[in-house]
Amino acid sequence: MASIDEGGVRLARFRQTLAALQEVVPDLASVPASILRDSRIQRFEFTFEAAWKLLQMRAEADGLEAATPRKALHYALATGLLDPEDETTAWDVLRYRNLTVHTYDEAIATEVEGFVIGTALPLFLKIAQRAGT
């Protein structure tokens, strides 16, 4: 079972990765578009990993097992950390994360970049808000 201190560390780590992702969301004139895109994708991956580990810890604190990202997302949906209308987005976040980890293709990278900015980031912000309470 996760300790209170571990929970604080995981929440802080998640918030740190989320802040790093938010730093690269605006267009940065001094950074080439391809580098900015790759940075957004990498920071999305970091944020996803920190988010699911936070959700895993919360599930374990409630006496539930959540050894995979899928189980951690099920926990978040079942307990109200994510709303029912977030379900499709939650599964899309997992799907895009798996795409970025296992393949690299310019067209997919461009698609993922748009998804990160327009869809994944708002979901991560919701988790940060609700997990901190």
Q: Which of 9, 14, 36 is nearest to 25 (CA)?
A: 36
Which SS3 state, helix, strand or coil, does residue 116 take? helix
pLDDT of residue 64: 95
Where do runs of H (alpha helix) occur along the chain?
4-23, 33-61, 69-79, 87-102, 106-115, 121-131
Cβ-based neighbours of 67, under 8 Å, separated by 6 or more: 56
pLDDT of residue 6: 67
Tens-of-pLDDT digits for all 133 residues of the chain?
455 456 689 999 999 999 999 999 999 899 999 999 999 999 999 999 999 999 999 999 999 999 999 999 999 999 999 999 999 999 999 999 999 887 778 899 999 999 999 999 999 999 999 987 5
The CATH number of the domain holding residue 12 is 1.20.120.330
Torsion of CA 93, 21, 128, 119, to 10 degrees: -40
Q: Residues, the chain, total?
A: 133
pLDDT of residue 133: 56
Dmax (CA) for the chain in angstroms is 48
- Whether residue 96 contacts residue 112, with contact meaning beta carbons closer than 8 Å, is answered with yes
Query: What is the count of structural domains for the chain?
Result: 1
Q: Which of 51, 70, 59 is nearest to 126 (CA)?
A: 51
pLDDT of residue 5: 59
d(C-alpha 73, C-alpha 55), whole Å = 7
* Parent domain of 17: 4-131
